[in-house]
Amino acid sequence: MADPPPPRDVVVAVDIGSSSVRASAYEVNAETGPVPLEGCFVQLHGRALDGSGVGGANDLRVRVEDALWGLHARLLEFGNGSDDHSADPKPRPNPKVRVRVVGFDCFAMNLVGVDENLNPVTPLYSYADRHPGTFAAVAELKAGLGLGSGSGSGSGLGLEAEYHQRTGCPFHSGYALPQLIRIGREEPERLRRVRHWQSLVGFCLSQWRGPGPDPNPNPNPKPNPNPNAGDKPDP
């Protein structure tokens, strides 16, 4: 009797977007690159953010879990025809596939504050922030650094463009710094409860794995509510 063929090596990709969560599987192929595994794709639609640009970290975590469990069921069925493992309380691994890597991708600038037990104590902040206080913090940061004047260091760029070119981060309400300044001003009690800041993917992983050693034994430093204070850095 011939030996069964070796399992197909599979990469699982999870894409967390602001309007849907997708989980899909790809066969690793050295000659052609990743090839989608037929039938192994799940997409769950739903808005992740409200009108102010924030969302619920736990709500999104549950949606990610649902997408992963849906993909898991499809991987169990892959190559087995009409076999249905959904009613099996402890389904056996499918010998025809072997998951080697799970990768995550998430919408830009996602940040949630958690307490010492890794429970979220803030909303999920994002690139889509619409709080007036965040826009005000951006304007103050620019003014405090002398940006927007059109002056530069002789490169032909304005100071703001030079900062952007050097750091990759524009002064924009979709980035963490002005958002943290706003939270420090408008919600100081909430900010004091934050033990760690996590990305959404980091939050999901910590919820699934449980707390590990505390990487930050001291409370997080709070953002300066006055961005104009301090020395102006060299351009």
* 224-232 own/partner pairs: CB under 8 Å, 24+ apart: 224/181, 224/184, 225/181, 225/184, 225/185, 227/137, 227/140, 227/141, 227/144, 227/181, 228/140, 228/143, 228/144, 229/144, 232/144, 232/145, 232/146
3-class DSSP state for residue 186?
A: helix
Supply the pLDDT for residue 13: 98
Measured between alpha carbons, how far is residue 103 from residues 12, 139, 151 in Å? 6, 37, 43
Tens of pLDDT, residues 117-135: 999 999 999 999 999 999 9
> Which stretch of 16-20, 34-38, 55-59, 167-171 has the lowest confidence by average pLDDT?
167-171
Distance in angstroms (rounded) separating the CA atoms of residues 86 and 225: 53
Mean pLDDT of 170-183: 93
What are the residues whose beta carbons fall under 8 Å from the beta carbon of 188, sequence distance 6 or more?
none
Tens of pLDDT, residues 38-48: 999 999 999 99
Query: Taking the domains of the chain in order of start, what are their residue ranges?
Result: 8-106, 112-209
Supply the pLDDT for residue 90: 59
For residue 8, name the pLDDT band (cuts at 50, 70, 90). Answer: confident
| Burial of 196: CB neighbours in 10 Å, binned 0-12, 13-18, 19+ | middle
Mean pLDDT of 33-56: 94
Whole-structure pTM value: 0.78
Distance in angstroms (rounded) separating the CA atoms of residues 95 and 9: 11
20-27/35-45 β-pairing = antiparallel
Mean pLDDT of 225-231: 45
